[in-house]
Structure 1
Amino acid sequence: MSEQAQRIYAVMRRLVLEADDRKQRVVDTLGMSYIRSRALRALAVEPIRMSELATRLVTDKPYTTLVVDDLEQRGLVVREQDPNDRRCKVVRITPAGREAANVATEIITAPPTELAALPPEDLEALDRILGKLR
């Protein structure tokens, strides 16, 4: 890898991972752990079986149960019996949970201040260049 590529990657990493602690902003704004907000964001897409939610969160099933218990107590999700398999539970987001998921998504997806402050021609160049990396 060239020195130039390493410098570019270091700036990209700093911008995305280090410059603004978005995870902490989500935690502070929502008053819950980041893993709970990740669960809400996953459930905002579709209802999910408990076992699938554990897989998506990369957590074990007992911890996923604790996460869902807490979200349920907060009125952000509900657990229902899976209509296709009565042995399984499906977790569904509530309107309040969807609102919290939207807040978390807004925080996580907002561009870093330094990036947003670039002049339009620089943003166009970056967009063109990064488009080649997709």
Structure 2
Amino acid sequence: MTASDDTAEQIAARLDGIVRRQRRAAKADVEGLTHGRFRVLRTLDQADRPLRLSELATQLGIVPRSATSVVDDLEAGGLLARQPDPHDRRATLVALTPAGADLLATVRRNRRDAMVTLLDRLTPDEQSTLLGLLNRLADD
């Protein structure tokens, strides 16, 4: 069974709308945080250790020069800090600062709260079904 073009387009439009709503909610009360900057903070948080700029760029799927620009901006805002790599004097590591971790927690809380508001329209069984379907679609 395949989805009709019309059905696929409708689903894509609905998902886009939900994602936009989530991004807006995530940035509520958070100035200057783009989706790209959020991804950098999230990636460093998930790494559970400081990363070299090249590692960060690879995990983000961007070129190192782009990673450097974003890190520069986040460092200027006090959200990240560069530190020397103890294993390679030529390399620099990037780590979240406490302010960066706090901002990331705020963004995650805003996203969660926005999703809870959306999901309140569904019964617990519908929420469970939706999660199961999304998991199936997300599996690679």
TM-score class, shorter-chain normalisation, is 0.7 to 0.9
**Which amino acid letter does the alignment assign opposite residue 30 of structure 1?**
V
Cα 1:20–1:130 shift into 2, 3 Å: closer
Partner Cα separation in structure 2 for residue 10 and residue 96 of structure 1? 40
Partner Cα separation in structure 1 for residue 36 and residue 132 of structure 2? 34
- CA deviation after TM superposition for structure 1 residue 30, in Å: 2.1
Tell me the residue number matched to 1:17: 16
Tell me the residue number matched to 1:52: 55
1:92 is aligned to 2:95: yes
Partner Cα separation in structure 2 for residue 40 and residue 50 of structure 1? 13
Tell me the residue number matched to 1:118: 122
The number of residue pairs the alignment matches comes to: 132
1:36 is aligned to 2:40: no
- CA deviation after TM superposition for structure 1 residue 131, in Å: 6.1
Paired residues of 1:41 and 1:105 also in contact (CA < 8 A): no
Paired residues of 1:16 and 1:112 also in contact (CA < 8 A): no
Tell me the residue number matched to 2:84: 81
Cα 1:125–1:61 shift into 2, 3 Å: closer
Paired residues of 1:77 and 1:92 also in contact (CA < 8 A): yes
TM-score, normalising length: structure 2: 0.73
TM-score, normalising length: structure 1: 0.75
- SS of 2:115's equivalent? coil
Q: Deviations over 1:10-48 (max 9, x none)?
A: 44x444322351334444532222211111111112221
Identity %: 31
RMSD over aligned CA atoms reads: 2.9
- CA deviation after TM superposition for structure 1 residue 132, in Å: 6.0
